[in-house]
Amino acid sequence: MGSRAEFLAEAFPQGRRGPSAEVQAAIEGATFVIRESDDDGPRVFVVSPALHGSFLFSRDEAARRLRKSFPELGDEAVDRAVRHLHSRLKAHTQPAAPTRRNGLSEFVHGWREW
């Protein structure tokens, strides 16, 4: 069996590296605050000390802050990081799907939840 480094080198060839650990930590550590909606939909603020505080989310503003925080990132890496941040934002703002218990009533499954 090969080493972990060999596995990672195979999984991520030289031109397709994922975001660095610092970028991932900055994105994963971000929190989202939903404010009143305007004509364009809900206004969502991203709060992240690694991205220099809070800002109203837009792809352009997120890219600008990522470039400021991580100047070593290339255009493609910034684009991937913005997409990742946007996917986290969408997951946060969309309501969770209701779970269904095989069509049986809540009485059957919920009788012990007292």
pTM > 0.75: no
State residue 30's pLDDT score. 93
- Dist CA 96 CA 99 (whole Å): 9
Q: What local confidence, expressed as pLDDT, does residue 96 receive?
A: 67
DSSP string, 19-75: --HHHHHHHHT-EEEEEEEETTEEEEEEEEGGGTEEEE--HHHHHHHHHHH-TT--H
Residue 106: what are its φ and ψ, rounded to 5°? Answer: -65, -25
Q: Of 15-24, 43-52, 104-113, where does mean pLDDT reach its minimum?
A: 104-113
* pLDDT tens-digit readout, 56-113: 999 999 999 999 999 998 999 999 999 999 999 988 888 766 665 555 556 565 666 5
